[in-house]
Amino acid sequence: MKRKHSLALAALMGLAMTVTACGSDDGGESAGDGGTSQSGGAEGKIGVILPDTESSVRWESADRPALAEAFEAAGVEYDIQNAEGDAERMTQIADTMIGDGVTVLAIVNLDSESGAAIQEKASSQGVATIDYDRLTLGGSAEYYVSFDNTVVGELQGQGLADCLGEKDANIVYLNGSPTDNNATLFAEGAHSVLDGMSNYKVVGEQAVPDWDNEEAATIFQQLYTAANGKVDGVLAANDGLAGAAIGILEGNGQAGKVPVTGQDATVEGLQNVLAGTQCMTVYKSATQEAEALAEAAIALVNGDEAETTGTTTDSEGGRDVPSILLEPQSITKDNVGDVIEDGGQKAEDVCTGEFEKLCADAGIS
Ligand code: BGC
């Protein structure tokens, strides 16, 4: 443990010192959801805790396989678990991982408070931590690996404006979870684009607790009713929330007439974009994000400094967190094929049934 402590300290102090990393004490045993150890690879062991399976399909369908691939390519031992939306469970998984000897722990927090507590405990045990995708406010992560989330919101705002055009329009915002710092950034980014356009009026705005898709449908229905059905555009923070809004619009004969934004380029999101019920989504390559995490984690294991793109201010903790922020891409009907070409989704998953023809029309095969 002592050696590990010096590792985290070195990283904390930003010293580029070479430390012999802890060898695997698992003997390369397959740890739960995929531990691996390849000769010639980096030493140390990386634990990743994903948040849930409900707020977005991305965590299990895109992030997990991309992370496994990145760690395997780097030849580093890893353990990926999912907290199933339960912060206590995330804390327990973190404890177990620390007990199992992970050298670096990456989390996608469920809320900043529980995330910060996990990171504090890890650091007291000499385990370095990384914020994956969501910044833990008041946390102590050595690095933050994500996309530029304000830009994600800006792309959503611009995407909605492009779909609405110059007419007067009533807009409803369906924001992400209030406990997710990203959700704040997405909303800020979207507002920064749309608020300056005087032809648009916000007629409803609400955050969806835990990004819960079912609750999103209830919330959207209420906002829709409160606006007397006079809703011309929906700024939905991700594809799951978009799907919930589209369901309600469908019930009112408005699906396809009212543009809805999204995020994650999920299979359902891309199908909705092709069908015209969703005006856009935002693609954030899981491969890129997972590779960036693997690089940062391996740098920590080796006592090196990772290459960063800048810092992110943690206003609660009053510190600038060294960050690797990647560039998101706006996806409309015209470039759904980009996601497939990039390996973000498979044509065979998107182009099923009624979508076969829509894919063919969009030049996707
Ligand atoms: C992620 C999104 C995701 C949402 C719900 C956010 O923090 O950045 O990609 O859709 O959480 O899981």
Domain boundaries, the chain: 6-141+285-326, 149-283+332-361
Q: Which atom of ligand 1 is nearest to the CA of 240?
A: 10
357 C-alpha to ligand 1 centroid (Å): 30
CA dist 135 and 130 (Å) reads 9
263 C-alpha to ligand 1 centroid (Å): 8
Structure tokens belonging to residue 67: 């992370």
Task: Please work out whether the CB of residue 345 comes within 6 Å of at least one atom of ligand 1.
Answer: no
Under a CB-based contact definition with an 8 Å cutoff, are residues 208 and 175 in contact? Answer: yes
Under a CB-based contact definition with an 8 Å cutoff, are residues 127 and 22 in contact? Answer: no
Q: Which atom of ligand 1 is nearest to the CA of 181?
A: 7
Task: Please work out whether the CB of residue 283 comes within 6 Å of at least one atom of ligand 1.
Answer: no
Name 202's bridge partners.
Answer: 171
Under a CB-based contact definition with an 8 Å cutoff, are residues 136 and 150 in contact? Answer: no
Residue by residue, DSSP assigns 116-161 as HHHHHHHHHTT-EEEEESS--TT---SEEEEE-HHHHHHHHHHHHH
Amino acid identity of residue 218, one-letter, is T
15 C-alpha to ligand 1 centroid (Å): 32
DSSP classification of residue 72: H
Q: Is the dihedral of CA 198, 204, 210, 211 positive or negative?
A: negative
295 C-alpha to ligand 1 centroid (Å): 21
Measured in whole angstroms, the distance separating CA 82 from the mean position of its chain's CA atoms is 14
CA dist 199 and 336 (Å) reads 29
CA dist 364 and 356 (Å) reads 9
Task: Please work out whether the CB of residue 142 comes within 6 Å of at least one atom of ligand 1.
Answer: no
Q: Which CATH number fits domain 6-141+285-326: 3.30.70.1290, 3.40.50.720, 3.40.50.2300, 1.20.120.160?
A: 3.40.50.2300
Q: What's the Cα-to-Cα distance from 196 to each of 17, 154, 193, 345, 361, rounded to whole Å?
A: 49, 12, 6, 35, 36
Enumerate residues 6+ apart whose C-beta is below 8 A from 106: 46, 47, 48, 49, 129, 130, 131, 132, 145, 293, 297
Task: Please work out whether the CB of residue 82 comes within 6 Å of at least one atom of ligand 1.
Answer: no
CA dist 50 and 43 (Å) reads 22
56 C-alpha to ligand 1 centroid (Å): 6
Q: Which atom of ligand 1 is nearest to the CA of 147?
A: 8
CA dist 335 and 159 (Å) reads 13
Q: Is the dihedral of CA 38, 42, 47, 53 positive or negative?
A: negative
pLDDT tens, N- to C-terminus, the chain (365 residues): 333 333 343 333 333 333 333 333 333 333 344 444 444 566 899 999 999 999 999 999 999 999 999 999 999 999 999 999 999 999 999 999 999 999 999 999 999 999 999 999 999 999 999 999 999 999 999 999 999 999 999 999 999 999 999 999 999 999 999 999 999 999 999 999 999 999 999 999 999 999 999 999 999 999 999 999 999 999 999 999 999 999 999 999 999 999 999 999 999 999 999 999 999 999 999 999 999 999 999 999 999 999 999 999 999 999 999 999 999 999 999 999 999 999 999 999 999 999 999 999 999 98
Task: Please work out whether the CB of residue 263 comes within 6 Å of at least one atom of ligand 1.
Answer: yes
Task: Please work out whether the CB of residue 133 comes within 6 Å of at least one atom of ligand 1.
Answer: yes
CA dist 304 and 295 (Å) reads 10
Q: Which atom of ligand 1 is nearest to the CA of 264?
A: 9
Residue 223, classified by CB atoms within 10 Å of its CB into exposed (0-12), middle (13-18) or buried (19+), is: buried
CA dist 273 and 163 (Å) reads 12
Task: Please work out whether the CB of residue 150 comes within 6 Å of at least one atom of ligand 1.
Answer: no
9 C-alpha to ligand 1 centroid (Å): 30
361 C-alpha to ligand 1 centroid (Å): 30
Look up tokens 């059905």; give the residue.
229
Under a CB-based contact definition with an 8 Å cutoff, are residues 289 and 59 in contact? Answer: no
DSSP classification of residue 208: -
300 C-alpha to ligand 1 centroid (Å): 25
Task: Please work out whether the CB of residue 58 comes within 6 Å of at least one atom of ligand 1.
Answer: yes
Q: What CATH code is assigned to 149-283+332-361?
A: 3.40.50.2300
